[in-house]
């Protein structure tokens, strides 16, 4: 690719995809970021954790999240441009993920509110009752400053990986709604008007099969707060999304889908976010490369620009190739998700293919973002460690992307599960067959089959090397599809 395209997310998207949906909207959105968004984003990052105003002057609980006023202009721009409403107008996720890519090039943290708002709207539209949809969905699809935000609250104090054991929030039926009682420990986009929440109906089994998914509004029917915020988290990055601890005390909520489908709906929500995480990780990788290239073209050492030194130039070439491969893997996850996101349980084979590629993409792109951000600091040298420049921020942001929506361990183990139970690896190899070198494909397929013959303990212990190589192989093959 042309190195000059690194400085523009839209130019990179066109280089990789050719025709790009909503291109004019994307260009205007990028121009907004270049002229107005970047300084606002930098200010938000430097200002640190937002402030929680818990009470009004009369002592009434209000739990208001306070940001600088410019933050709301920044946040609402993405909603206005259609990062949520276009999905339902166009019956496609493509434009939303394209807007997410541009957002993440400038501010990966800001992509989180958009992602969880989409991940609230989709299950509400798919699984909410007609009355609940009519009441709440239009507010998430507004195109002006009145738009509501969504949130996805699954994680409790015991962690998010083992939801079956960790979710202790209890749901009790109460006529046409449910009452939820419990605590959510990492509640991203806290303060949102709506949230989808994992809870266990009273008496349900204490495993993942006993979970259900509920829609929880910020306010009760009587107008009082339906949830309260204990505190905001002081995070190392992603400061453009408030994350807090939420308390639910007989909070009014509405069941989404069937009780027995709960775990599947929760995974659908997570998959929307995992794909977004992959897209955001690639965009961050591009941003690091763009900033590093700009610096390397201007910094001189030993009589010439440092980009002219063979070792560094080769490193740039290799990392740009990795960027293209990572994008191809992430975009395949987007493309497959766009084909299956309307499916409901029981899912077809194509859904299980999507699941494996989504796990590979989330794992691989987040790891690449973190390693590239570390390398970007090295290109800058000593000044890369200074907080007044951008490289330290990109490293901080990348480290959170690796953990959001499931750590690398979780992606490996979930990927193993879909291979063992659904044969997704065979679906993957069949999918790659028209694009891959036949000998290399056969070799990788044989390696996976041999690995799956190991004992359960050996499979888990030895999965990292295999999963890493499978992700890298898949990314390289898919890169050829786009080029």
pLDDT band at 1 (very low <50, low <70, confident <90, very high): low
Least confident of 161-165, 316-320, 332-336, 465-469: 161-165
What ranges in 167-309 are assigned the alpha helix state H? 262-296
Predicted confidence (pLDDT) at residue 191 exceeds the cutoff of 90 = yes
- Lowest-pLDDT range of 46-50, 118-122, 378-382, 471-475: 46-50
Mean pLDDT for the chain overall: 96
Query: What does the buried/exposed string (b/e) look like for 127-137 if buried means 16 or more CB atoms within 10 Å of the residue's CB?
Result: bbeeebbeebb
The arithmetic mean of pLDDT across residues 344-366, rounded, is 97
CATH class of this structure's domain 263-482 = mainly alpha
Q: 42: exposed, middle or buried (C-beta count within 10 Å: 0-12, 13-18, 19+)?
A: middle
Confidence of residue 59 (pLDDT cuts 50, 70, 90): very high
pLDDT at 27: 98
pLDDT of residue 482: 85
Segment 332-344 mean pLDDT: 98
Per-residue pLDDT at 165 exceeds 80: yes
What phi, psi does 225 have (nearest 5°)? Answer: -60, 135
**CB-based contact 253:216 (threshold 8 Å):** yes
pLDDT value of residue 483: 65
Q: At what angle do helices 23-32 and 9-17 cross, to 10 degrees?
A: 150
Mean pLDDT value of segment 476-481: 94
User: Count of CB atoms within 10 A of residue 20's CB?
Assistant: 19
What is the b/e burial string over 145-165, where b = at least 16 CB atoms within 10 angstroms of the residue's CB?
eebbbbbbbbbbeeebeebee
What's phi and psi for 161, nearest 5 deg?
-70, -45
pLDDT at 305 over 70: yes
| 210-257 per-position pLDDT tens digit | 999 999 999 999 999 999 999 999 999 999 999 999 999 999 999 999
Tens-place pLDDT, residues 102-139? 999 999 999 999 999 999 999 999 999 999 999 999 99
Q: Please state, in angstroms and rounded to a whole number, the distance separating the CA atoms of residues 114 and 111.
A: 5
- Backbone CA torsion sign across 320, 321, 323, 327: positive
Please state, as a whole number, how many other Cβ atoms lie within 10 Å of the Cβ of residue 417.
14
pLDDT in tens, 13-47: 999 999 899 999 999 999 999 999 999 999 999 99
Name the fold adopted by 3-140. Answer: Butyryl-Coa Dehydrogenase, subunit A; domain 1 (1.10.540)
| pLDDT per position as a tens digit, 197-208 | 999 999 999 999
pLDDT in tens, 76-95: 999 999 999 999 999 999 99
Q: What is the pLDDT of residue 431?
A: 98
Q: Work out whether strand 212-217 and strand 194-201 pair parallel, antiparallel, or are unpaired.
A: antiparallel
For the residues 461-480, what does the mean pLDDT come to? 97
| C-beta atoms surrounding 444 within 10 Å | 22
Q: Which two tokens stand for residue 461?
A: 């212990």
Q: CA angle 345-406-354, nearest 5°?
A: 40
- Evaluate whether 369 touches 401 at the Cβ level (below 8 Å): yes
**152-260: CATH class:** mainly beta
**Burial zone of 270 (CB within 10 Å; 0-12 exposed, 13-18 middle, 19+ buried):** buried
Confidence of residue 413 (pLDDT cuts 50, 70, 90): very high
Q: What is the mean pLDDT of residues 460-479?
A: 98
Task: Give domain limits for the chain.
Answer: 3-140, 152-260, 263-482
């Amino acid at each position: 690719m042309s190195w000059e395209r690194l400085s523009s997310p839209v130019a990179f998207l066109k280089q990789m995809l050719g025709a790009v949906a909503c291109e004019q909207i994307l260009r205007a959105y990028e121009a907004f970021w270049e002229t107005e968004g970047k300084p606002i984003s930098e200010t938000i990052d430097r200002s640190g954790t937002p402030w929680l105003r818990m009470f009004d002057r009369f002592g009434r609980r209000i739990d208001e999240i306070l940001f600088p006023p410019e933050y709301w202009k920044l946040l609402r721009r993405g909603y206005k441009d259609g990062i949520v409403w276009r999905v339902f107008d166009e019956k496609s996720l493509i434009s939303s993920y394209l807007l997410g890519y541009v957002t993440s090039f400038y501010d990966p943290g800001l992509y989180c509110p958009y992602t969880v708002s989409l991940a609230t709207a989709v299950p509400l539209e798919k699984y909410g009752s007609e009355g609940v949809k009519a009441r709440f969905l239009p507010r998430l699809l507004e195109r002006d400053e009145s738009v509501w935000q969504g949130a996805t609250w699954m994680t409790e104090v015991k962690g998010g990986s083992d939801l079956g054991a960790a979710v202790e929030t209890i749901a009790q039926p109460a006529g046409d709604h449910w009452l939820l009682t419990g605590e959510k420990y990492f509640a991203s986009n806290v303060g949102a008007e709506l949230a989808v929440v994992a809870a266990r109906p009273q008496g349900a089994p204490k495993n993942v099969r006993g979970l259900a998914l509920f829609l929880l509004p910020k306010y009760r029917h009587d107008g009082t707060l339906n949830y309260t915020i204990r505190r905001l988290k002081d995070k190392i990055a992603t400061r453009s999304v408030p994350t807090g601890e939420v308390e639910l005390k007989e909070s009014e909520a509405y069941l989404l889908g069937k009780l027995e489908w709960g775990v599947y709906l929760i995974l659908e929500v997570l998959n929307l976010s995992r794909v977004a995480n992959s897209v955001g990780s690639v965009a961050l990788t591009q941003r690091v490369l763009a900033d590093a290239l700009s610096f390397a073209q201007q910094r001189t050492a030993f009589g010439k620009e440092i980009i002219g030194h063979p070792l560094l130039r080769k490193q740039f070439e290799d990392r740009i190739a990795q960027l293209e491969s990572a994008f191809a893997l992430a975009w395949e996850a987007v493309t497959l998700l766009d084909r299956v996101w309307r499916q409901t349980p029981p899912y077809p084979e194509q859904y299980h293919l999507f699941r494996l590629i989504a796990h590979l993409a989330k794992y691989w792109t987040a790891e690449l973002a973190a390693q590239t951000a570390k390398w970007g600091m090295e290109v800058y040298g000593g000044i890369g460690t200074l907080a007044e420049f951008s490289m330290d921020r990109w490293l901080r942001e990348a480290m959170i992307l690796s953990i959001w929506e499931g750590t690398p361990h979780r992606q490996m183990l979930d990927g193993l599960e879909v291979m063992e139970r659904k044969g997704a690896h065979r679906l993957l190899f069949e999918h790659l067959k028209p694009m891959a070198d036949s000998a290399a494909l056969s070799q990788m397929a044989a390696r996976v089959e041999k690995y799956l013959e190991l004992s359960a303990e050996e499979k888990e212990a030895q999965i990292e090397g295999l999963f890493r190589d499978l992700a890298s192989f898949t990314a390289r093959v898919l890169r050829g599809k786009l080029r």
